[in-house]
Chain A
Amino acid sequence: MSEFNTRPDNNAEQLIQSVFDRLTGQADPVIARLRLERSLERRPRRRRVSTAIKVLAFITGLLALGGWASGAPVIGWDDGQLITIQAPDSFVPAAYPHWVGVFANHAEALADHGGHSLIVDYRQGSDDSYFLQLGIIGVSYTEANDWLRDVMQRVPELNGTPYTITQPLLPFRVSVREMLAYSVLGRTEAEERKVVAAWRAAESQAQQVAMGRHAQIALIARSNDCRRVSMVGF
């Protein structure tokens, strides 16, 4: 059964073959071409996009978005100032809440300059002397310097005390979504919270910290002074 004689075998096939041949002979390619051209002109244009092109476009879009997102500039946080002040000779750790209160009382002027976070901490030097450390976020070096000089003039214990101001780099994670939000909306509260958290982590050296609000400023202090900070906040 592998062979099949395709020639007409019976009357019906002969008729079919004969009609087919007559129809073939009648076919006019010129007329067909004219009809086709007319049909093509009247045919609504449908743009068929193949699956491969769709996938390619999707990948290209992702790459473009990724490239843009990874290249989106995030302006450095140059408004974080770390102020280190030589603590008065009378300073003892037990007096730390007092100093939190002192700086909190002057936090309003800091808020007027755009500051939003004030971290009050202290460190002990190698010669057992103490340093007060203030972390300020939201103001430039000049504004921080002016504010501190004003505070020092108003607080006799600090008058004439040497101090330094540095701008530490605080690494913190930023997701692509946050980066996109930053590019579109500018600095957001969520991003600022991250910076504050990074600062707190760096400043407190993983100690627990207390946080309150005073004069529109987030006042951050050591955890054992949480109650005092809360009182200052109110």
Chain B
Amino acid sequence: MPVYPRALAYAQSISGSLMDGEDLVQDAVLSAYSRFDTLRNRERFREWFFAILLNRFRNLRNRWRLRPFKLVAELGSSHSILEATASVSGDPAELGYQLTLVRELLGRLSARERDVILLLGPAGFTPEEVARIQRISQRAVIQLAYRARRKLRAMLPEGALSFLNIPAPGVTNHE
């Protein structure tokens, strides 16, 4: 599984910006390059690199070099998110529009919940790998994932996906 496309998508998702995501990955690559000797197990390169990527994101955000999350609407109404996002980008089917919406959704999670749900879901890591990246127990990873899922479930109303021209999820979870 190639690392770069997923790392870039991850960085762009958490930063909510195509350019910031590219800069973040670039920064992480340079950081990884300079301390390649710390990679103990080459089979775990993907974990190692994502841990660096997350660290860089936290450091850069702490230094305000990345644009901080700015909620364009409060959580009072799920529709208000869509409306506020629509004011950023006109076409809901556009990637920019949807990326902004993703940023708004992830911004309503805690940092750990955001990292865990992204790593377990789209990025394709196992709970064991996420536990190593986050340096927490596997049980804590699962708990965080469920908590994030519960919050996310309440964020987008029914019919929002058709509005965004995205097929509905076909599989339900088995909590």
- Residues of chain A at the chain B interface (Cβ within 8 Å): 1-27, 29, 32, 35-36, 39-40, 43, 46, 48, 50
Contact = CB atoms under 8 A, between A and B. Distances in A.
A4 B117 CA distance: 11
A14 B166 contact: yes
B70 interface: no
B68 interface: no
Interface string B26-67: 100110011101000000000000000000000000000000
Contacts of A3: 174
Contacts of A11: 153, 155-158, 160-161, 168-169
B164 to A, nearest CB: 6
Contact of A15 (B2, B146, B166): B166
Contacts of B124: 6
Given A13-B117, A29-B2, A36-B29, A1 B142 contact: yes
A220 B25 CA distance: 83
Given A24-B9, A29-B2, A15 B26 contact: no
Nearest to B124: A6
A14 B168 contact: yes
Contact of A16 (B25, B106, B158): B106
B84 interface: no
Contact of A29 (B5, B21, B143, B158): B5
A23 B152 contact: no
24 contacts: A4-B120, A4-B142, A5-B171, A6-B124, A9-B171, A10-B153, A11-B158, A12-B156, A14-B167, A15-B164, A16-B152, A19-B98, A19-B99, A20-B13, A23-B95, A23-B99, A24-B6, A24-B8, A27-B8, A32-B25, A35-B26, A36-B26, A36-B29, A40-B33
Given A5-B173, A5-B174, A16 B168 contact: no
Given A9-B171, A20-B10, A26-B95, 10 more contacts: A7-B173, A11-B158, A13-B121, A15-B161, A20-B123, A21-B9, A23-B21, A23-B95, A32-B8, A40-B30
Interface in B134-175: 139, 142-143, 145-146, 149, 152-153, 155-158, 160-161, 164, 166-169, 171-174
Given A15-B98, A19-B98, A46-B34, A10 B12 contact: no
B128 to A, nearest CB: 11
A35 B27 CA distance: 11
Given A13-B152, A23-B8, A32-B25, A1 B98 contact: no
- The 6 A-B pairs at the shortest CB distance, nearest first, are namely A20-B122, A23-B9, A27-B5, A11-B156, A12-B152, A9-B173
Nearest to A25: B5
A147 B120 CA distance: 99
